Amino acid sequence: GETTRWRILGKYDLVAENDDGTVALIDCKVSDSARDSGEFYSPQLHAYVYAMEVPAVGKALSVASMGLLVWKPNRVLGDSAENYGFGVAQSYVPVERNENEFLRVIQDFITVLEGPFPDAGPTCTTCNYLVQRSGVDA
C-alpha cells in the first residue's frame, strides 16, 4: 500500500478473546431488514478489523473471525409507557474475510477523495440536495 493521510475511525460493539489469543469481532444490529447480511456490512467489519490489526498506535490484535449479532424485533412487551419494550429473534451471521477486496475498495475511496473535485451543475445530485437542504434550513 501507499502512505495516506486518511485514517479509519469507528467503534465496534463486541470483541471476544479466543483461547489462542486471537479475537472475534462482533457487530450488533437491531434490524428487520434484508440487508442484514454479511455482504452488506462486510466493508464496515473489514474496516474495524484493519484498524485492529494495523493500528496507528498501540498493540495490534489478530482477528480470527468477524460477524453480526442481529436482533430482529418480533413482539411488543409491556403494558404501559413505563415498561414497554420489544422481544427479538437473535441470530449470528458470520462474515467471511476478503482482505484483498477490502483494500481495493479503500484504494478506490482514497482515489476519489484525493482526486479532482467534480464540476457543479444542474445534473449534480449532491449539489441539488445541498441547495434543497439549505432551503429547508432557511
Domain that holds residue 79: 14-137
Alpha-carbon distance of 126 to 130, in angstroms, equals: 6
**Residue 125 belongs to some domain of the structure:** yes
Mean pLDDT of the chain: 89
Angle between helices 38-53 and 99-114 (to 10 degrees): 80
**Residue 9 belongs to some domain of the structure:** no
**Residue 100 belongs to some domain of the structure:** yes
pLDDT of residue 70: 94
**Residue 75 belongs to some domain of the structure:** yes
pLDDT of residue 136: 60
Question: How far does Cα 138 stand from its chain's mean position?
Answer: 33
Mean pLDDT to the nearest integer, 98-119: 88
Q: How many domains does the chain have?
A: 1
**Residue 102 belongs to some domain of the structure:** yes
**Which residues lie below 8 Å from residue 105, measured CB to CB, with a gap of 6+?**
43
pLDDT digits (tens, 9 = 90+) for 106-116: 999 898 888 88
**Residue 68 belongs to some domain of the structure:** yes
**Residue 3 belongs to some domain of the structure:** no
**Residue 27 belongs to some domain of the structure:** yes
Alpha-carbon distance of 36 to 73, in angstroms, equals: 13
pLDDT of residue 17: 97
